Structure 1
Amino acid sequence: MKSRITAWLCVLTLAAGLSVAPPVLAETDTAYTLPDIIALSLTRHPSVASAEGVVDQRVGQRVAAGAYPNPSFSGAGGHGILRDGGRQDLLAAAQQRLELSEYNVSIGQPLEWPAKRAARKSAAEAALAGSSFGLVETRLNLTTDVKVAFFDLLLALRDLELSKQNVTIVEDVRRIVGVRVRLGEAPQFDLIKADVEVLKANQAVTRAENTVRVNRVILDTLTGGALGSTYQVRGDFLIYPGGLNTEQLVARAATEHPAVLRLQKFVEQADRSIEFQRQNRVPNLTVNGSYFREIGREAYVAGFTVPTPLWYQQQGEIAASLGAKRTEEAELLRTRNELFRQVNQFYQEAQTAQKLIEVLEKGLLKQAEEALRIAKFSFQQGAASLLEVLDAQRVQRQILFDYAEARYQLSVALSRLERAVGGTL
């Protein structure tokens, strides 16, 4: 079991592309890559610390489950005098002989039913294994969240870049229109339209800058504030991997996903708890031993104590454990069904995004760029109107953004597909 959990941690680390020692970069460093940010989040995010704390709790509970009952000691002592009202003369004559210290000592050792202790230990072992898989699941979910936030920021930066390019184009057009209006070659209304386009382009830049700022904060939050407020990112969107098969991905999620493994261990823990409650009907035997020293008497005594379960035999605890097992089994089934749905959904989303990327790369990107180039040249030569240039510019910017958004959607779908599968694709 320990080797299986260790293997899961190694797979997750390789999936994130992490190094053994996570790099800690200062705010003055140029940029963070995606593996850098994932390493910082896995080190500093509170959800990981919380999951590690649960594992520590389960380790302590396993130690407690395997402990043997402690013995109990008791004792008493005092000064004793033999008194006999009918023989006062003898009592007075033998005062020294009839006075001495009296004491007694007792020890009791509970003996637990072996099957009960074995069931309790098995339940604690299953709980520990389940919490260990829970830690792997937490790391997997956090890694996906970081990837999505990273791609959100990349898309926002790309939108900001396109918005600034749009401002440059619109301002160039506005300058040409201004010259033509001064020369009387164009009406004043064209200059007003050009000024409006410049204003709209600057507003788009402001909105894009706000979006970038928000996404920076979101990504910084996932690292526990390790990135600071002025960091940069370096990286690109993901590329569609070949050879994906939904049946294989579904089968992998059903058998290897850490959430499934965690819930399987919780079902096992519930089953062991049922066995423990059934064995708990057998009472513990306590073996006692005592030594007494009194005036005129010295004794060694041995005995035992056994509670008698006549009226109550753990019926409530057994019923509660059976209910807990049914709950865990239902949660396991629900999780598997949810993973099946997610695998198919994100697989289809990735394929849809990849098809759009192929369509854009095969012609639309170049066509839109060429159309804008021709429109700008024609406008400079007086063969095209301002409206034609603005339309060509809008189309070209929209296609570039659609291309960036398609790559973003592909990256997000692949990241979430990895989370649904339970590891790298």
Structure 2
Amino acid sequence: MSATLAFAEPTYDLAGLETLAMASSRSVLAARDQITAARHALDSAAAFPNPELEYLSGTARGRNPGAATGDARSLALTQPLDMPWRRTARIGSAEAGLEATTATVRAFEADLLARLRSRYFEVLRREAEVKNAREDVALVESVRSRIALRVETGDAARFELIKADAELLNAQKTAQAAGFRVEQARSQLRQAVGNALPAEFALTGRLGQVPEVPPLASLSQQVGQMSPDLVRARAETVRAQRQLDLERAQRWPSVALKASIDEDPDVRASKLGVVVSIPLWDRRRGPVGEAAAQLARARNELAAQEFSLGQTLEVAYQQYEIAEAMVTALESGIVKQAESALKVAEAAYRFGERGFLDVLDAQRVYRAARAELIAARYELATAWVDIERLRATPGGTKE
């Protein structure tokens, strides 16, 4: 018993896979390092300028008779002043940059989670397909065995056995291909999660387990407030505005306080004054114009992003509603009716009331209905993934 438990496959649900990916993915950790860098950039923007110390030493020689000769030294200290209009704009630009970087990382994480969720449901889809394919093989084998018995007793033509063998080979081929697709989907899921997910694992969810989504009006409000793409676009607009304010503030003269001491063999002079730059030739027309153009670009991109996200959300929500209606119709009637028709055809064939071709037709209808149900459930899950990507729902949480 203990040996069996020791080699049991670890099981994961969707929330567990999301938590595992967020904690171990190197790409996520690398993206989060950008936020650390942006925080340090904010520290740099808030730092005050360092003072400048100047020391000169030389020799003084008198040019007139009797003038003193000896060492000459000077010491000067200059402290640039960080003017409020520049400091405020510079810090504001760095703060907006931090917000934009944080939103960029959130968008990256949302894309990773969307890819992970899509591949998670892909595995569930492929597992459901291989389960149905194996059931189809068992079903065809049972029918084939009955046909073989009837052929041996002379109650059925050998043509029916040949047809049943061909149908069995086709079902076995479909089951084998479905098994390969399961392995491929599992590999893609492990690639999305990372090396922390072992090669052998099991999933506890089912394809039909898709959380409900809020109404479209509520979703639109949430996306408008929480979408990392919109948050990033707004932050970029704010940063462009602060950069324009900073470039305009650069037009004003820069001011620095300066204190100096000059010594020569006869005199020691102490001085205190102000150093002012005169913006005479460079009025910063180029940087100001460039910052204004960047601000206009950021505003246009924000408007385009708002419109694009709104349309994308509507399409995803409509797809969710369509898939939900298809799943309801298939689950409530179509699949059950196809299964009942198959049972009736099999019973009629056993009593000789119908031929083998009628059974095959009923089996094909039943398999097609089950395949449509799996596809509809997967489309429903895919639409949910698209909506959650726009909402940027954090990983490792359950709705």
Q: Output one character per residue of 1:356-386: Cα deviation in whole Å (capped at 9) or x when no partner.
A: 2222233222211122122223333333322
Instruction: Name the structure 2 match of 1:75.
Output: 55
Q: 1:112 and 1:283, CA in 2 relative to 1: closer, same or farther beyond 3 A?
A: farther
Q: Output one character per residue of 1:145-186: Cα deviation in whole Å (capped at 9) or x when no partner.
A: 222211111111100111111111112222222222333333
Q: 1:109 and 1:30, CA in 2 relative to 1: closer, same or farther beyond 3 A?
A: closer
Secondary structure class of the residue paired with 2:252? coil
Aligned counterparts of 2:157 and 2:34: Cα–Cα separation in 1: 73
Say if 2:11 and 2:204, in contact at 8 Å, map to a contact too.
yes
Q: Output one character per residue of 1:287-339: Cα deviation in whole Å (capped at 9) or x when no partner.
A: 22221222222222333332221122111111111111122112211221121
Among candidates 14, 21, 25, match of residue 45 of structure 1: 25
- The residue identity in structure 2 corresponding to 1:408 is Y
Instruction: Name the structure 1 match of 2:14.
Output: 34
Say if 2:62 and 2:69, in contact at 8 Å, map to a contact too.
no
Instruction: Name the structure 1 match of 2:105.
Output: 135
Aligned counterparts of 1:394 and 1:240: Cα–Cα separation in 2: 31
Say if 1:77 and 1:103, in contact at 8 Å, map to a contact too.
yes
Say if 2:20 and 2:193, in contact at 8 Å, map to a contact too.
yes
- The residue identity in structure 1 corresponding to 2:209 is L
Instruction: Name the structure 1 match of 2:209.
Output: 238
Aligned counterparts of 1:347 and 1:407: Cα–Cα separation in 2: 15
Among candidates 197, 206, 209, match of residue 179 of structure 2: 209
Q: Output one character per residue of 1:167-220: Cα deviation in whole Å (capped at 9) or x when no partner.
A: 111122222222223333333322222221121111111221121112111111
CA deviation after TM superposition for structure 1 residue 35, in Å: 0.7
Among candidates 336, 339, 343, match of residue 373 of structure 1: 343
Aligned counterparts of 2:197 and 2:145: Cα–Cα separation in 1: 41
Q: 2:163 matched to 1:193?
A: yes
Instruction: Name the structure 1 match of 2:82.
Output: 112
Among candidates 51, 54, 79, match of residue 34 of structure 2: 54
Aligned counterparts of 1:292 and 1:209: Cα–Cα separation in 2: 89
Q: 2:360 matched to 1:393?
A: no
Secondary structure class of the residue paired with 1:197? helix
Q: 1:240 and 1:224, CA in 2 relative to 1: closer, same or farther beyond 3 A?
A: closer
CA deviation after TM superposition for structure 1 residue 99, in Å: 6.4
Say if 1:105 and 1:291, in contact at 8 Å, map to a contact too.
yes
CA deviation after TM superposition for structure 1 residue 101, in Å: 4.2
Secondary structure class of the residue paired with 1:230? coil
Aligned counterparts of 2:194 and 2:330: Cα–Cα separation in 1: 38
Unaligned runs of 5+ in 1: 1-25, 92-97
CA deviation after TM superposition for structure 1 residue 253, in Å: 2.0
Q: Output one character per residue of 1:44-68: Cα deviation in whole Å (capped at 9) or x when no partner.
A: 2344223312211210111011111
Say if 2:106 and 2:392, in contact at 8 Å, map to a contact too.
no
Secondary structure class of the residue paired with 1:54? helix
TM value normalised by structure 2: 0.90
Say if 2:60 and 2:72, in contact at 8 Å, map to a contact too.
no
Q: Output one character per residue of 1:12-61: Cα deviation in whole Å (capped at 9) or x when no partner.
A: xxxxxxxxxxxxxx995342111110111112234422331221121011
TM value normalised by structure 1: 0.84
Question: For this pair of structures, how many residues does the alignment match?
Answer: 389
Instruction: Name the structure 2 match of 1:339.
Output: 309
Instruction: Name the structure 2 match of 1:6.
Output: none
CA deviation after TM superposition for structure 1 residue 263, in Å: 1.4
Percent identity (aligned): 26
